[in-house]
Chain A
Amino acid sequence: MRRWTVRAHLAGLLALAAAACARGERAPSDGRFAVGDDAGRRVSLAAPPRRIVSLLPSFTEILFAVGAGDRLVGRTAWCDYPPAALAVPSVGDGMPPNVEAVAARRPDLVVLYRSGPNVTAAAQLERLGIRTVLFDLNRLEDLGPVARRLGVLTGRRAAGDSLARAMDSLVSQSPESPTPGTKSLVFIVWDNPPIVIGAGSYLDQLAWLAGARNVFHDIGTPSAQVSIETIAARKPDFIAVLSDTAARPRYADRPEWRVVAAVRKGRFLFLPGRLFGRPGPRAGEAVRELRRRLETAP
């Protein structure tokens, strides 16, 4: 009885807080933990979830950042940050999710990235009576809304809002146009055929924020196949590679790649995948790290 009173009181406070916060998600007056997800569904929980499975490394990072990490009971094999995440049991690589392995963790909330296979998996989990929420997370501006809504769902509204504000301010820092003398770079994802990062990717945004120009900013999609000739003609100052080691990529010694001046001069930026490979709460850290590397590079 007493516990119920406390909970009702808390819920009332939360409702007040929600009303006060103009940008926050509107909580229904009955005090449930409810948000709209990016698959157009209304997800409302009677109480904050106590057993959460996260099926994207970014969601795992955000859940830890808002203080709900101790409620994680499942993660993907890729979720390696923060270190505490490694103590959470893995449910596989999550591409696509192994529904049985997820269900076996008896979660009361599963957080999924909105993709075709994941929408199907979410429907299967819902049929098993497990609540799911689907979020988009492709660009830096997606981080704020995801943090805010995960905060609401997990009952960590203040922490979620504060993280969301930090993420939003990062996006609003983005300069309108690059300053003259800006260093240029190309993100090379794969060498044969050459796949580069375009303006649709958050890596392009990271470069922009770090004061560098992605030479394929004119390509609107997240990534695209281009020819070596196009890379050479655009004369990037640096070749950015997502790599945890500083080993020169194997194509660096191939004659066709040495036509690209930055490859010939060995001007590679090796960006660790754990920090740069995903949009997450450490986006600001990634921007600072990239800026530092650009400044200290020869």
Chain B
Amino acid sequence: MKYVVLVGAALATLAAALLVGPANLPLADLFGSPIVWQLRLPRAVLAFLVGGALGVAGASLQALVRNPLADPFLLGLSGGAGLGAVAAIALHLPGPWALPLAAFIGAVGAMALVYRLGLMGGAELDPRILLLGGVAVGAFAAAVTTALVSLAEATELRNAFLWLWGGFSGASWTTVLVILAYAPLPLGVLVAAARPLDLLALGEEPAQYLGADVRRLKQGVYLAASLLTAAAVAVAGVIGFVGLVVPHVCRLVWGRLHRTLLPTAFLTGGILLAAADTLARTVAAPRELPVGIVTALLGVPVFAFLLRRWTVS
């Protein structure tokens, strides 16, 4: 039942994203217009896929570090992506994919560093070390980024930050294909880990006794969720909040089992981000709002309402 509702809502959101936009197309021209085929449709699909990926990555990372404040960017990824993007602009790297690719490399670099810290001294990805390592690597990357910005002579650097705040202006069928080709593998790893992630919620030792290979589980989930997030950064910049709040919303509404949580987080994250992007494109036309603002404006009231209901009952 919940899937029928969610898939229905997803289709309605995508349809709305196709129908409305600043260009004011007459209904008859809708399906022949390049504005719909080349701009609105790939943009809506990309927003949906990125929202879904962030929702799943957030849910898995929260389970992995057993901390409700975890979000996909917490473990140094946004800092690494920012450093990559700014470096690409400061070094004048050519080509349309220089910026996204550099951001991806930066994110993966930060992830690898945190991962290495998490394995040091037999720590075996201790959540506390991961969180601290993530914050430390993120701070270091931010410091290098700021140094680059203040030393490099590029007025374009300001715009690197605009890009980093996230958005779907760069959406095209190419970016959609990149995500479609890339995301299924990490998503598959995470969905396959649904049952062991439930066990991990009991604590690492009990999970081990109940038959989960905790060490491999943590490595797999950490790498898959981070690579998923890095891909999202590459195509859409750093879009906060979705990966933090969507998993909590889904837990409050549909329960804590990851078999349900991961698919619902995918659909809910997709719906939230596609809807937020549609509003970002249209409410302030001809201007466009940064999508992260709309996501928070839409998501926080829903979250507050659910939190209240949950704590009262």
Contacts and interface: CB of A to CB of B under 8 A. Distances in A.
Nearest to B280: A227
B281 A229 contact: yes
Given A190-B156, A226-B287, A256 B162 contact: no
Q: Is the interface of B mostly helix, strand, loop or mixed?
A: loop
A226 B288 contact: yes
A225 B288 contact: yes
Nearest to B277: A227
Given A192-B169, A255-B173, A256-B172, A218 B286 contact: yes
A77 B286 CA distance: 36
B95 interface: yes
Q: Is the interface of A mostly helix, strand, loop or mixed?
A: mixed
Contacts, number: 92
Interface residues of B, number: 34
Contact of B167 (A193, A234, A255): A193
Band of interface residues on A: 20 to 34
Contacts of B94: 250
Given A192-B163, A224-B287, A227-B281, A254 B96 contact: yes
Contacts of A256: 38-39, 42-43, 170-172
A216 B288 CA distance: 13
A195 interface: yes
Contacts of A250: 94-96
Interface centre among B23, B94, B153, B163 (most CB of A within 10 A): B23
B22 A229 contact: yes
B39 A229 contact: yes
B35 interface: yes
Contact of B169 (A193, A216, A232, A234): A193
B174 interface: yes
Given A192-B170, A255-B172, A255-B173, A229 B35 contact: yes
Contacts of B300: none
Contact of B163 (A93, A193, A258, A259): A193
A94 to B, nearest CB: 12
A193 B160 CA distance: 10
B21 A195 contact: no
A77 B151 CA distance: 12
A224 B287 CA distance: 6
Contacts of A227: 21-22, 39, 169, 281, 288
A93 B38 contact: no
Contacts of B34: 232, 259
B285 A230 contact: yes
Contact of A255 (B99, B153, B174): B174
Contacts of A20: none
Nearest to A254: B96
Nearest to B174: A255
A251 interface: yes
A229 B34 CA distance: 10
Interface in A184-231: 189-195, 216, 218-219, 224-230
Given A230-B285, A233-B23, A233-B24, A259 B35 contact: yes
A185 to B, nearest CB: 16
A133 to B, nearest CB: 25
Contact of A229 (B21, B153, B162, B287): B21
Interface in B36-64: 38-40, 42-43
Given A224-B287, A259-B34, A190 B162 contact: yes
A129 to B, nearest CB: 28
Contacts of B21: 227, 229
Contacts of A195: 159, 162
B287 A232 contact: no
A251 B95 CA distance: 9
Interface string A255-284: 110110000000000000000000000000
A253 interface: yes
A244 to B, nearest CB: 13
B275 to A, nearest CB: 16
Given A254-B172, A259-B35, 16 more contacts: A191-B169, A193-B167, A195-B159, A225-B287, A226-B287, A227-B39, A227-B169, A228-B39, A229-B22, A229-B39, A229-B281, A230-B22, A234-B286, A254-B170, A256-B42, A259-B38
> Lowest 8 CB-CB distances: which A-B pairs, in order?
A233-B23, A193-B169, A256-B172, A230-B22, A190-B159, A192-B170, A255-B172, A259-B38
13 contacts: A93-B153, A190-B159, A192-B163, A193-B290, A195-B159, A219-B286, A224-B287, A229-B21, A232-B34, A232-B39, A233-B35, A255-B172, A255-B173
